[in-house]
């Protein structure tokens, strides 16, 4: 198999999915490859009570009720909308669901201001149209239309970033379950096959960009994914994703628990400060999500690997945190400088350990960027 920079979930976990499919005797909706119970088990991991011959690791960390509601929604052939703050794992959950249900998570439309109806319906191969005219052979189906024809899951990322025209076109697909092709005289309707559904994601911070119409909202079941606030759960997520990143980069390096604690505590402190701030100028532009923690840690690990002594240090972690979160100048730097002097410095004097080195690394980064 050709090596991939980032393999989709159905490729990455192909062996697990094959094994689960071989032992799955539960009822399956439509053309699903796994039963709802096995989909949940694939995503949330196995427990001793499941009585399986092999362990299935947990891949998404969050309340099991969110996963169950998502699965039930897709089993009813309604659209599923995962909504939440950046970095809450919406896209990852959507990918895992599609991989488990139909073994294809790659039928994705990315919502942007430039997304058009063609991206969710079809376009044309211009050279073929000129040579032979418009026909089904010269038509280029969108990922959504491909999902309709195959009776599988289509995904729509960042739905609220697409314009109202695109959202309106999605209403007819979700309602009528077919797409008309008026340019053709024959074979001019594509009907959705059983098993087709759409998983969309939306960033709750994008409210007001392109608000969803009431008509479109009625076509979706909403599952709101909250920010992870439990320190233990967040630590598990960071460890899981960091292990994957290290494997992808082929780096053998341990993340000391003390440094992971410093990272988690720093983000918790900065979130608390952001929540109590009275204006946007007093808040970091960063969402301070779990995904951004993983980004900070990845940056520190790679810096240690290529420019350090191949051992992650608190000094490098402090510099990476400042470098990753200081996006506005001078506002974000002022907020971080205040945090470093008001929180990190007293904590380094009181607790010692890795905190003094973390303090110095952040100070140097702030000084360099100022």
Per-residue model confidence (pLDDT) at position 220:
92
- What is the DSSP secondary structure assignment for residue 157, as one 8-state letter? E
Residues 200 and 290 in one domain: no
pLDDT along the chain (370 residues), means of 10: 81 96 94 95 90 90 92 92 87 96 96 90 94 91 96 94 87 92 91 95 70 86 84 82 79 83 92 85 84 89 84 92 88 92 92 93 91
Alpha helix ranges (H) inside the chain: 9-12, 14-23, 36-44, 64-75, 90-102, 117-120, 126-132, 143-150, 164-176, 214-218, 231-249, 257-276, 290-307, 314-325, 331-339, 345-351, 355-369
Same domain, 55 and 167: yes
pTM of the entire structure? 0.84
Determine the structural domain holding residue 337 and report its residue range: 231-369
Q: How far apart are CA 249 and CA 63, in angstroms?
A: 30
Domain boundary among 193, 224, 255: 224
The predicted pLDDT at position 168 comes to 87
Same domain flag for 168 and 33:
yes
Instruction: Report pLDDT for 209.
Output: 58
- Which pLDDT score is estimated for 328? 81
Overall domain count for the chain: 2
- Closest by alpha carbon to 100, among 162, 46, 37? 37
The verdict on residue 258 lying in a domain is yes
Identify whether the C-beta of residue 143 lies closer than 8 Å to the C-beta of residue 93.
no
236 occurs within a structural domain = yes
Does 219 share its domain with 252? no
Domain match, 237 and 152 both: no
- Asked if the bond preceding 303 is cis, omega within 30° of 0, the reply is no
Q: Which residues of 33-48 are buried (b: 16+ CB within 10 A; e: fewer)?
A: bbbbebbbbbbbebee
Check whether residue 26 and residue 81 sit in a common domain: yes
- Same domain (yes/no): 272, 177: no
> How many angstroms separate the Cα of 196 from the Cα of each of 74, 118, 192, 244?
9, 19, 6, 31
282 and 212 co-located in one domain: no
> Does residue 120 contact residue 144 with C-beta atoms inside 8 Å?
yes
Establish if 176 belongs to a structural domain: yes
CATH of the domain at 119: 3.40.50.300
Q: How many other CB atoms sit within 10 Å of the CB of residue 27? A: 10
22 and 69 both lie in a single domain: yes
- What does the pLDDT read at residue 354? 93
- Structural domain includes residue 131: yes
301 located within any domain = yes
| 1 in a structural domain | no
pLDDT for the residue 25: 93
The pLDDT of residue 147 is 96
Contact partners, residue 155, CB within 8 Å, separation at least 6: 94, 95, 98, 105, 107, 108, 109, 143, 198, 199, 200, 201
User: Would you give the distance in Å from CA 154 to the centre of its chain?
Assistant: 15
Q: Which two tokens stand for residue 221?
A: 């079941």
> Which of 224, 255, 280 is a domain's end point?
224
197 and 267 belong to one structural domain? no
In a domain, residue 107? The reply is yes
Question: Do 33 and 136 belong together in one domain?
Answer: yes
Given 192, 224, 256, which residue is the final one in a domain? Answer: 224
Same domain, 96 and 16: yes
Per-residue confidence (pLDDT) for residue 113, from 0 to 100: 85
């Amino acid at each position: 198999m050709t090596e991939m920079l980032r393999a989709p979930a159905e490729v990455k976990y192909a062996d697990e999915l094959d094994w689960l499919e071989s032992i799955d005797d539960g009822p399956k909706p439509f053309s699903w490859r796994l039963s709802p119970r096995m989909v949940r088990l694939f995503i949330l991991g196995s427990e001793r009570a499941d009585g399986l011959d092999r362990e299935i690791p947990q891949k998404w960390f969050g309340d099991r009720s969110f996963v169950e509601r998502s699965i039930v929604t897709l089993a009813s052939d309604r659209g599923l909308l995962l909504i939440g703050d950046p970095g809450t794992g919406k896209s990852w959950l959507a990918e895992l669901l599609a991989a488990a249900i139909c073994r294809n998570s790659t039928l994705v439309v990315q919502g942007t201001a430039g997304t058009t109806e063609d991206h969710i319906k079809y376009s044309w191969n211009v050279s073929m149209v000129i040579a032979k005219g418009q026909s089904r052979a010269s038509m280029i189906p969108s990922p959504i239309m491909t999902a309709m024809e195959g009776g599988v899951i289509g995904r729509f990322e960042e739905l609220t970033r697409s314009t109202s025209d695109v959202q309106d076109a999605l209403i007819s697909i979700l309602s009528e379950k077919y797409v008309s092709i008026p340019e053709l005289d024959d074979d001019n309707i594509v009907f959705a096959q059983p098993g087709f559904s759409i998983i969309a994601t939306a960033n709750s911070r994008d409210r007001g960009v392109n608000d969803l119409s009431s008509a479109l909202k009625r076509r979706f079941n909403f599952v709101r994914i909250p920010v992870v606030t439990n320190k233990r759960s967040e630590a598990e997520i960071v460890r899981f994703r960091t292990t994957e990143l290290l494997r992808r980069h082929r780096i053998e390096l341990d993340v000391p628990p003390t440094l992971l604690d410093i990272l988690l505590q720093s983000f918790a402190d900065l979130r608390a400060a952001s929540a109590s701030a009275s204006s946007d100028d007093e808040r970091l532009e960063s969402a301070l999500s779990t995904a951004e923690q993983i980004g900070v840690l990845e940056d520190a690990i790679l810096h240690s690997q290529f420019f350090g002594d191949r051992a992650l240090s608190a000094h490098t972690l402090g510099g990476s945190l400042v470098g990753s979160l200081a996006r506005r100048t001078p506002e974000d730097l002022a907020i971080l400088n205040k945090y470093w002097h008001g929180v990190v410095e007293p904590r380094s004097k009181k607790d010692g350990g890795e905190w003094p080195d973390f303090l110095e690394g952040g100070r140097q980064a702030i000084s360099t960027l100022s």
